[in-house]
Amino acid sequence: ASTGVTPQLSGSDFNLTIAEHPVNFTGRSRVGTVVNGSLPAPVLRWREGDSVRLRVTNHLAQPLFIQKANQIIGQHPPVG
């Protein structure tokens, strides 16, 4: 896992894989949660009104909750 530089992903179609992976910030390896093998996680940017598709694969042992930063989260139609 990378440590330090925040990757940025562009476009409208994203595949995100969430997993645990060894990371080292202090000279000592520990397990961290990574997105697409990266910590910090990639930045996703788009403009209001853009349509985007996020496909998230959770390889963690627990459920995952994703929240949009600096946004009010409203209701969405059921998926499936």
Domain presence at residue 76: no
Q: From first to last of its 80 residues, what are the pLDDT tens digits of the chain?
A: 555 677 888 888 999 999 999 999 889 999 999 999 988 888 888 888 888 898 999 999 988 877 666 554 444 455 54
3-state secondary structure string, 20-46? EEEECCCCCCEEEEEECCEECCCEECC
Domain presence at residue 36: yes
| CB within 8 Å of 8: residues ≥ 6 apart | 42, 43, 44, 45
| CB within 8 Å of 22: residues ≥ 6 apart | 1, 29, 30, 31, 32
Count of domains observed in the chain = 1
Domain presence at residue 54: yes
Range of the domain at 8: 2-58
Domain presence at residue 70: no
Flag whether the pTM goes above 0.75. no
CATH number for the domain harbouring residue 53: 2.60.40.420
Domain presence at residue 77: no
